[in-house]
Amino acid sequence: MKAILCTKFGGPDSLIYAETENPVLTPDSVIIEVNYCGVNFPDTLIIQGTYQFKPDFPFSPGGEIAGKVLAIGAAVTNCKIGDHVMALCGWGGMAEQIVVKASHVFVIPDALDLAVAATSMYTWGTAYYALKNKAGLKQGQTILILGAAGGVGTTAILLSKLMGARVIAAASSNEKLAYCKALGADECINYTTDNLKESIKKLTNHAGVDIVYDPIGGSLAMDALKALSWNGQYLIIGFASGNIPEVPMNIPLLKGITIHGIFWGAFAEKEAKANKENLLQLMSWIMSGQLKQPIHRVYTLDQAPMALTELMQRTIKGKAVIQIKAANQSQPTTSTTSILQEPKNNTDSALNKLIIAGKAGIFLNIGKTVGPGQWITITQDMINAFAETTKDHQWVHVDEARAAKYLPDGRTLAHGYLTMSMVSYLLYELIELKQVSSFYNYGFNKARFISPVRVNDQICLTVKLEHAETQTNGSVKLILLCTIHIKGIEKPAYVAEIISVIN
Ligand SMILES: NC(=O)c1ccc[n+]([C@@H]2O[C@H](COP(=O)([O-])OP(=O)(O)OC[C@H]3O[C@@H](n4cnc5c(N)ncnc54)[C@H](OP(=O)(O)O)[C@@H]3O)[C@@H](O)[C@H]2O)c1
């Protein structure tokens, strides 16, 4: 197979593009045909021998990939031949095939672009772990993101905005800052031309920021630390500058500052369940279009040294990705304008349908109202069938002649429970849950019948996703406020909370 090989420690120029042995399967591993390999900063370190892992020569760099399963070891149960997968491999990804421990392989939906999948773990995983698990970022907090146009920087901007924070992006050029602004940053600081500490004072009215997210280290770290507010939090992501700063302990003491070390690889290993939860949440946001990885450029395999050189020269904005074998899928976007577009794939405009990806996606849609959906006509046949089933043959429902004589506008009335029972059908027309094994309604709460529905009236549904909570067995209980409307009548027919369970 073809691969980029590191045969001695050195810069990207020392890498060679050559033929090498195919990988060998072991019982607990998986062989993957690699379609795409994400490019990350540690790739530049591992080839120079300055990373915490030093593989035996020759090896290929490339720590995260996406592709198709070619073979599985005898003990593997989490994927099968032919599955589309993404995998965290540490190194070896810049090659046509790779062998990876099955525990580091995740099956992905076929609909997920493999180039996107190959860039969806490292930087998203790190940023989300830092912001959620370590800093506990809250809505309304202010975060300073250094190296904001880079891989872990851009994902931090997008996630912080999604989580409701005010983002101050800091980078080395106005061009990079314009890029950060396009991704949603609220304010920008150019740390090549402006004083970081003074700029933050100005932007925060001397209050300081709640959180510093630092992938650079070096000379910026001290100013950033001093720019924290009381009880501020400092997230040590990395040392892209090559310089590990030393902190005088009196500064965190005086300001009640918490300093968090972030090592996502170790978190993924030691807290695999929590990491998987994070990845599922990220996948749900990615699949629903709420998060989109900004891809700088797609390089061919022989251009991988160029991608690594550009990363080291600080000219890459967002993520670089290596295409090893084109997948039969659409190309990822490389423009920021499309990143900023409203998610398109989570509503079906013809029906105002809401499509939610995974259980995690439910929580993101709480507060949203969906509908109105399609109008359906309540016919006398429907009323009669309902009367037959429930043995409720009261004349107001079934006796058309008597209704013509005695009822206000001469039409029979549908049973209240008939229109109420239509809610499930109308609901599934309005909300589709993907990547879940079941979605069912088990109860109604606070039901009110307000206006009667008469024969030949048209009704439709609107639904508000009111509340969701995870149960101890892992299922999600979802409360939906459902309103049945009658065409031409102001007051609704029926309002109730529906209790749904999603597994
Ligand atoms: N802790 C973890 O678990 C974890 C996970 C992933 C990555 N990381 C670390 O986070 C850091 C950034 O990774 P990344 O993927 O975001 O890399 P990246 O895409 O290359 O971005 C790094 C940014 O750092 C800035 N920078 C400042 N001095 C630099 C220098 N001497 N060389 C290169 N860049 C420099 C650049 O922005 P400006 O030009 O705007 O200054 C660049 O955009 C790395 O140290 C990486 O090892 C840590």
Q: Which pTM does this prediction carry?
A: 0.71
For tokens 């606070």, the residue is 446
Instruction: Identify any residues that bridge with 369 across adjacent strands, giving them in sequence order.
Output: 464
What is the position in ligand 1's atom list of the atom closest to the CA of 154? 16
What are the pLDDT digits (tens) for 268-303?
999 988 998 898 889 888 877 788 888 889 999 999
pLDDT category at 344 given cuts 50, 70, 90 is very low
Nearest CA to ligand 1 atom 13: 41
Contacts of 358 (CB under 8 A, 6+ apart): 280, 283, 284, 287, 434, 435, 436
220-221-224 Cα angle (round to 5):
85
In this structure, are residues 441 and 433 in contact, taking their beta carbons and an 8 Å threshold? Answer: no
What pLDDT does residue 329 have? 52
* Token pair of 458 as six digits: 């048209």
Distances (CA, A) of 124 to 88, 150, 208, 378, 392: 13, 12, 26, 49, 57
- Name the closest-CA residue to atom 37, ligand 1: 147
Give me ligand 1 centre to Cα 48, in Å.
16
Specify the pLDDT at position 102: 94
pLDDT, tens digit, 9 for 90 and up, residues 212-226:
999 999 999 999 999
Ligand 1 nearest atom to the CA of residue 265, by list position: 3
Residue for token pair 């369940």: 273
Kindly give the number of the ligand 1 atom that is closest to the alpha carbon of 266.
3
Query: What residue owns the CA closest to ligand 1's atom 17?
Result: 41
The closest of 220, 227, 282, 339 to 86, measured between CA atoms, is 282
Collapsing DSSP to helix, strand or coil, 70 comes out as: strand
CA of 311 to the centre of ligand 1 (A): 9
2-120+293-340 belongs to which CATH class?
alpha beta
Two tokens at 300? 């061919």
Closest atom of ligand 1 relative to the 239 alpha carbon: 45
Instruction: Please work out, in degrees rounded to the nearest 5, the angle formed at the alpha carbon of residue 361 by the alpha carbons of 367 and 269.
Output: 135
Per CATH, the homologous superfamily of domain 123-267 is NAD(P)-binding Rossmann-like Domain (3.40.50.720)
pLDDT at 350: 40
364 band by pLDDT with thresholds 50, 70 and 90: low
In this structure, are residues 121 and 88 in contact, taking their beta carbons and an 8 Å threshold? yes
CATH of 348-502, one of 3.30.1330.10, 3.40.50.1100, 3.10.129.10, 3.40.190.290: 3.10.129.10
Q: Is the CB of 129 under 6 A from ligand 1?
A: no
> What are the extents of the domains in the chain?
2-120+293-340, 123-267, 348-502
Our answer on whether the CB atom of 126 is closer than 6 Å to any ligand 1 atom is: yes
Q: What is the pLDDT of residue 338?
A: 27
What is the dihedral sign for C-alpha 319, 325, 326, 328? negative
C-alpha 242 to ligand 1 mean position (Å)? 9
Grade residue 330 by pLDDT with cuts at 50, 70 and 90. Answer: very low
Mean pLDDT of 235-255: 96
Mean pLDDT (whole number) for 104-118:
88
Tens of pLDDT, residue by residue over 173-186, are 999 999 999 999 99
* Ligand 1 touching residue 215 (CB < 6 A): yes
318 C-beta closer than 6 A to ligand 1: no
pLDDT tens for 430-468 read 888 877 888 888 888 889 999 999 999 999 999 998 888
State phi, psi for 141 to the nearest 5 degrees.
Answer: -75, 155
Ligand 1 nearest-atom number relative to CA 311: 20
What sign has the CA pseudo-torsion 75, 78, 79, 80?
positive
Contact 6, 14 (CB under 8 A): yes
**Secondary structure of residue 325 in the 3-state scheme:** coil
**307 Cβ inside 6 Å of ligand 1:** no
Distance CA 491, CA 472 (A): 39
- Please report where in the chains the tokens 């890459």 appear, as a residue: 316
- Pocket flag, ligand 1, residue 42 (CB < 6 Å): yes
DSSP 406-455: HSTTS--B--HHHHHHHHHHHHHHHEEEES-S-EEEEEEEEEEE-SPPBT
pLDDT for 334 beyond 70: no
pLDDT band at 352 (very low <50, low <70, confident <90, very high): low
Q: Does any ligand 1 atom lie closer than 6 A to the CB of residue 125?
A: no
38 lines ligand 1 (CB under 6 A): no
Is 225:211 a contact under the CB 8 Å cutoff? no
- Closest ligand 1 atom, CA of 123? 6
Ligand 1 neighbourhood includes 236 CB (under 6 angstroms): no
